Amino acid sequence: MVDLRAKPYYLNDADIAWVQDTIAAMTDEEKVGQLFFQLTSGPKEDHLKELVTKYHLGGIRYNAMPGAMVLEHNRILQNNSKIPVIIACNPEQGGNGVCPDGTFVANPIKIGATRKTEYAQAMGRVSGAQVAATGCNMAFAPVVDITYNWECEEVLARSYGNDPKLVAEMGKAFMDGVHETKGVACAAKHFPGNGQDYRDAHMSNNVNHFGVQKWMETYGHVYKTLIDNGIEAIMGGHIMMPEYMREIKPGIADDDVLPATLCPEIMTGLLRDKLGFNGMVVTDASHMVGMTNRMKRCDMLPLAINAGCDMFLFFNDAEEDFTTMLNAYKSGIISEERMVEALTRILGLKVAMGLTKKAKEDLCPPAEALAGVLQNPEFKAVAPAISKDCLTLVKYKDEGVLPLSPEKTKRVMIVNIKGPSSPMADLAAIAMGAAGARKSPAEKLRDRLIEKGFDAFIYVSPLEKIMAEVKAGKPFDINIYFAGKNSIADFVAEQDLVISFFDVANGHPTFGMSKGGGEIPWYVHELPVVGISVNKPTMLPDAPALRTYINAYDSNDDTMDALVEALVTGPEAFKGQDPIDSFCGMFDTRI
């Protein structure tokens, strides 16, 4: 059932014999161990040795740590593993997905806005080089989900857009870039395709609503493009396909519609038989609720393998999960035929990646070469170029507002509109020592405008004034909130232009509901107003009155530099094309 002479393996007779002989000589424990990818948190030598000697792991994925630590982590694993380990990372945006000191390039949506596949290939090139430099060998990328639902925040920034042709071209280009570094494989995700359900599979169910024909024309086109061009692996998502299943199994009960990772009709019937994928399949993380909420874990583990997934992502408890899978194999729940098929793909891929032909000490590169790859000036030059070409003037109904100039609109009020706080983001900031230490995106914008000669300032809302006075020991004065309105004439006299600045990473913006305040742009017909979003590109539904609206996609320094230059240059400087529908299908966002 596996053709090791064909793509993506291209093995010769000697290589195939090694795969077959190795499988024949393996113990039951060694076979079962190869089915697992495990998540690790750092280079704790005893722990890592146990994973590859007791549990015989086939793959490893690690939490973020500096590149030098990643390299040491990987060296320990490879030196102590009988069979070389696949070591994966998430370079969806560049080398920063390999390690924090890697090179960030762009969110995929940002590259989608440029329409330039050379940027996707450059991001893949950076990713592949930095993957290999740290001793890793697989990119859990490209992300080839399609943004059909603007409320699907799990996908929004991670997708190249809402056009299957664009996503296919960008995904292939990224893969080609990764493959410029020999020995680094790609695992595209998340099959059969996210981007329709607003819910996040980490916390809930996730549904792809397309039937057979529509799926083949969209997601099918994307995956067939990657398969035909040699993608080595595909990550299965915990995504249900009820319409597809009803068409291929008329009368199927709703309760029997399973997420793809547990569904043989999708992972085998569709991916293997219909699309012809011959490579390795790994599940998405098994702690995600989209997978765990359908059955007991002891039933879920072997079902994923029997459905057609070759590798299972992450132990919950190592001893418990390993024993569950081992018992399923020994009892025949996982057949010998299915076990050999999965192992053939896993070991065949390791041969194709060149892992089995290297000495243990050569599986990780020298430490002295790492800094040069992570700090490569050519790699660092990619992001600023993308930042210039991605800026998207989505809505421009008040022609003449751009370009901005101090002569025309000297006094610029920046209304900094935030989203709901994220506990995980706050924890990450604290862990990185960044909490309160860096300038906010609004402050970056203010400072750059001042450098251009504007009198730019950040708006302070009535609610913020109340809090400041209370903290200073003054009595609480609700009149600041309820009676703090200016006349229109006074409001207009205080500034020449307003920038509604959306620094919202997820959820909807929190305007503060200030009566007569400036958070909500009620004054779009009184003053020139420019809306700018530096994260989520879907802010128009929350502020449909905006007549000028720009998407910048992130707030990195090079992006802010490019944004301000475009603002003072004029509409022609905004070269990006909306990669999604930033109007979000709503009538009132266009008026």
Active site residues: 284
Return phi, psi of residue 577, to 5°: -115, 130
Alpha carbon 134 to its chain's center = 20
Q: Which of 55, 73, 54, 53 is nearest to 63 (CA)?
A: 73
DSSP string computed for 369-384: GHHHHHT-HHHHTHHH
* Structural contact between residues 306 and 336, judged by C-beta atoms closer than 8 angstroms: no
Sequence-separated (6 or more) residues with CB below 8 Å from residue 17:
none
How many residues appear in the chain? 591
Report which secondary-structure segment, H or E, holds 455.
strand 455-458
Report which secondary-structure segment, H or E, holds 128.
helix 117-133
Report which secondary-structure segment, H or E, holds 108.
helix 108-114
CA angle 23/29/35 to nearest 5° reads: 70
Amino acid type, 5: R
Residue 251, SS3 per DSSP: coil
In whole angstroms, what is the distance from residue 265 CA to residue 255 CA? 15
Largest CA distance in the chain: 85
* Structural contact between residues 142 and 158, judged by C-beta atoms closer than 8 angstroms: no
Q: Which of 230, 210, 328 is nearest to 279 (CA)?
A: 230
Q: Which of 340, 316, 336 is nearest to 328 (CA)?
A: 336
In whole angstroms, what is the distance from residue 421 CA to residue 425 CA? 8
In whole angstroms, what is the distance from residue 418 CA to residue 577 CA? 25
Q: Identify whether 192 is preceded by a cis peptide bond (ω within 30 of 0).
A: yes
Sequence-separated (6 or more) residues with CB below 8 Å from residue 376:
103, 126, 129
Q: Whose structure tokens read 């042709």?
A: 165
Amino acid type, 573: A
